[in-house]
Amino acid sequence: MIYIILFLISFLFFLIIDLAWLGIFAKKTYQKYIGDNLSKKPKWIVAFIFYVIYNIFLVVFVIEPAIYNSNIFDAVVYGASFGFITYATYDLTNYATLKSWSLNIVFIDIIWGSFLVSLVSLMTFITYGWIF
């Protein structure tokens, strides 16, 4: 049951923060650097599937172990590490294989992923503690 609760909390935080980043705060940056690679109309079902899968593994590998160990530091550091490795995998693969993938986006996105996942892990850890 703890996994479902943690998933729902992290999923909500991740979705709200990442969509705000992509749709409001960094929209012009992504347009500038990878505009030709962006779809005119996002595939929302595919995006939803990504958010579900990503948050399942975020809970399993980062958040639940941090809660089990009652260690907020683990939530922050391992969250940042998980974000770093997953976003680096995506961005470096794109940079290696796509003609027009920007090196600027590689750095921006990896930093964003590290921050986002660390923040979501922290917020989920704290929220779970408040509820239970």
Instruction: Give tens-digit pLDDT for 69-78.
Output: 999 999 999 9
This prediction's pTM? 0.95
Residue 36's pLDDT is 84
Q: What is the pLDDT of residues 28-63, one digit of tens each?
A: 999 999 988 888 899 999 999 999 999 999 999 999
Instruction: Give the C-alpha separation, 60 to 7, whole Å.
Output: 9
Burial per residue of 61-90, b for 16 or more beta-carbon CB atoms within 10 angstroms, e otherwise = ebbbebbeeeeeebbbebbbbbbbebbeee
Distance (Å, rounded) from C-alpha 2 to C-alpha 129? 12
